[in-house]
A and B are shown apart, each in its own frame.
Chain A
Amino acid sequence: MSQHAEHSADLNTVQQPEHPAEHPGYGTFIKVWVALLILTACLVGMSHVSQTYAVWGLLTMTPLKAGLVFYFFMHLKYEGPLLKIVILVTLGTLLIFFALLFSDVAFH
């Protein structure tokens, strides 16, 4: 069993994701929060101009806001490359879904 435990320890050492020591300060969070507020205000403003603006605003600014939340609040910035690739694959899949959906909706 001791050999087993030793192996488990080895596994843990090898397999734990490495977290760099760098951590965001409150200043960064506040700046991101302000940016999110500004983007929300832009979005609300655009939705009052016309429906077309509202749709384009939603399509561009909402992902941008979500990206800021992912990157800073959810610590994606401080993760290793594997997790970043995973997120990019997910976003890429979503974009392909959108494109294929629009091949129908835009050409009705």
Chain B
Amino acid sequence: MTTHAATAQPSYLVDTGKRKGLLAWLTTTDHKRIGVLYLYSMISFFLIAMGVGFVMRLVQLTTFQKLITAQTYNALFTLHGVIMIFLFVIPGLPAVFGNFFLPILIGAKDVAFPRLNLTSWYFFMAGAILAVLSLFTGGGAPDTGWSFYAPFSLKTGTNVSLAVFAAFVLGFSSMLTGINFITTIHRLRAPGMKWFRMPLMCWALYSTSWIQLLATPIVAITLVLVILERFFGIGIFDPAKGGDPLLYQHLFWIYSHPAVYIMILPAMGAITEIIPTFAKRTIFGYKAIAFSSMAIAGVGSLVWAHHMFTSGMSNLATILFSLLTMIVAVPSAIKVFNWVSTLYKGSIDFQPPLLFALTFIFLFAIGGLTGVMQGALAINVHIHDTYFIVGHFHYVMFGGTGMGFFAALLYWFPKMFGKMYSKTAIYVSWFPIFIGFNMLYFGMLILGMMGMPRRYYVHLPQFHTMHVVATVGSWFLVLGLLTYFGTLLYALFKGPKAEDNPWGGVTLEWTLPSPPIQENFETIPTITHGPYHFEQESK
């Protein structure tokens, strides 16, 4: 653990090249710096979208609205969805922690294509700027929801074309990152780093990268077709011209359902790193977890049409996709059982990253089980387009990916910045996050079962009580999140210096100084055993 004792290289945070300060960061090809650039960008976007969601909940405090107009409400839920999906959860963990830690975890000095990596960040930022521009140009903020369903997206006077183009540009960022990670894992593993010696985060990133590479071009082409249809009326999706709106839904979900696994798989990978470290024992079922990541990526790409059970598909397709949806629950459950089995009889060291990892498991399990419910055709018809879907989605994406992101940030923050945060403040932030989260989103599940449709500006009196509960929950949640980010921000500037290995981790990043040196390793390590080799366990 002290291989870095005589490091000659400075930390990656120190400017040593010709350029200094902001310019050095904006032209960097260091994977760690690029990961940090993504981190700052994404947290900014997350806070903006959180604010939008907060206003949306305030709107539902009364049965008859006065706060904003219905059109503005439509724009807000579109904005909330587009920012959260395309600018936070899809790129979230791969772009931040994948970029920062993938090369380190496999014993490499950088990703395979460092310049392409920086280009990906610029594509990401260009897409984000275009998305923001779409709010204030053309016909104003899009009002379609993040799914841009045809034929409404073809007819609405709002600025759908630019928003869709922004998503197209963001897709390029995603594809290029996918190519980079796949190549890095294939070509740059350290000597002795065999496939089954890689930390499981790498397997999760590898699976994710394949989905990014294979599914993103489909939505990219589909979005271009929407633009062409809006400008030239080519009639691919418009039924008035002989087009098929169901085809749009198919093409959109062929990407956008696997995108859910782009979002969740890296979070699962991070959780798989955290649990052995704090249980002080090797992961239970290494190969089962590795293969389940690939299985989720594979089967998860074949379930897209469960979003369309009420859209008028053929009976054969609905039955087939219902079956496939049930199957994808199996590899997800394998992971959950393996995490719990790893904790069983472990020497548990209860620290903030583990708290958030356990929160992930709890909330993701609720999200997953409500997902299986929706996979059943009869239930799906009842709850389609209700708040149940919104609640389920947030349990998976926020309770899953979001909590996974927060857990990963707590786990790797000391390594990334060389600073330690106040654990007490993080524990304090957890309570309002957990309570508020469940008030808000379990409230939505109940509202959905009661029949409250999603995306409605007003609601009937019988839904009012649960709407109030959910809105109050959102206040707790926002309070907790601000405390969480405030704690980390404070630690960044005023926090005490972190130890090189504050958690007693055994994967390669914990052999490096905090923060890591510029080329990661003074000497490329030779790997002789699996990733979770705890000495106390092997005695």
Report which A residues bind B (CB closer than 8 A): 1, 3-4, 7-8, 10-11, 14-15, 82, 90, 93, 96-97, 100-101, 103-108
How many chain B residues sit at the interface, stated as a range, is: 20 to 34
Report which B residues bind A (CB closer than 8 A): 8, 109, 186-188, 190-191, 214, 218, 246-247, 250, 254, 301-302, 305, 313-317, 320-321, 519, 521-524
A106: nearest chain-B partner, CB-CB: B314
A14: nearest chain-B partner, CB-CB: B191
Cα–Cα distance between A14 and B315 once the two chains are bound (Å):
53
Contact B214 A8 (CB under 8 A): no
Contact B302 A103 (CB under 8 A): no
B300 vs chain A, min Cβ distance (A)? 12
Contacts of A105 in B (CB 8 A): 247, 314
A57 vs chain B, min Cβ distance (A)? 19
Contact A103 B524 (CB under 8 A): no
Contacts of B218 in A (CB 8 A): 97
Q: 21 A–B contact pairs at CB < 8 A?
A: A4-B521, A4-B523, A7-B191, A7-B524, A8-B109, A8-B524, A10-B191, A11-B191, A82-B186, A93-B214, A93-B301, A97-B218, A101-B250, A101-B254, A103-B320, A104-B316, A104-B317, A105-B314, A107-B314, A108-B313, A108-B314
Contact B522 A104 (CB under 8 A): no
B251: nearest chain-A partner, CB-CB: A101
Contact A104 B524 (CB under 8 A): no
Contacts of A96 in B (CB 8 A): 302
Specify which of A15, A100, A106 lies most central, judged by the most chain B CB atoms within 10 Å of its CB. A100
B521 vs chain A, min Cβ distance (A)? 8
Contacts of B8 in A (CB 8 A): 1
Cα–Cα distance between A103 and B305 once the two chains are bound (Å):
11
Contact B523 A104 (CB under 8 A): no
B321: nearest chain-A partner, CB-CB: A100
B250: nearest chain-A partner, CB-CB: A101
Q: Which one, B187, B302, B519, B521, contacts A100 given CB within 8 A?
A: B302
Contact A107 B109 (CB under 8 A): no
B360 vs chain A, min Cβ distance (A)? 29
Contacts of B313 in A (CB 8 A): 104, 108
Known: A10-B191, A15-B187, A15-B188. Is A103-B317 also a contact (CB below 8 A)?
A: yes
Contact A97 B187 (CB under 8 A): no
Contacts of B250 in A (CB 8 A): 101, 104
Cα–Cα distance between A1 and B305 once the two chains are bound (Å):
54
Known: A4-B523, A7-B523, A8-B109. Is A107-B315 also a contact (CB below 8 A)?
A: yes
Contacts of B188 in A (CB 8 A): 11, 15
B192 vs chain A, min Cβ distance (A)? 11
Cα–Cα distance between A96 and B299 once the two chains are bound (Å):
11
Contact A3 B317 (CB under 8 A): no
Contacts of B190 in A (CB 8 A): 11
Contacts A15-B187, A100-B302, A100-B320 known; 6 new A-B pairs at CB < 8 A: A7-B191, A11-B190, A90-B214, A101-B250, A103-B316, A103-B320
B337 vs chain A, min Cβ distance (A)? 28
Contact A107 B316 (CB under 8 A): yes
Cα–Cα distance between A108 and B317 once the two chains are bound (Å):
9
Contacts of A97 in B (CB 8 A): 218, 254, 301
A85 vs chain B, min Cβ distance (A)? 11
Cα–Cα distance between A103 and B317 once the two chains are bound (Å):
5
Q: Which one, B214, B254, B301, B522, contacts A4 given CB within 8 A?
A: B522
A33 vs chain B, min Cβ distance (A)? 26
Known: A93-B214, A97-B254. Is A4-B317 also a contact (CB below 8 A)?
A: no
Contacts of B316 in A (CB 8 A): 103-104, 107
Q: Which one, B186, B191, B314, B519, contacts A104 given CB within 8 A?
A: B314
Specify which of A10, A11, A96 lies most central, judged by the most chain B CB atoms within 10 Å of its CB. A11
Cα–Cα distance between A90 and B521 once the two chains are bound (Å):
35
B463 vs chain A, min Cβ distance (A)? 34
Contacts of A10 in B (CB 8 A): 191
Contact A4 B320 (CB under 8 A): no
Q: Which one, A4, A82, A100, contacts B524 given CB within 8 A?
A: A4
B9: nearest chain-A partner, CB-CB: A1
Contact A104 B305 (CB under 8 A): yes
Contact A103 B523 (CB under 8 A): no
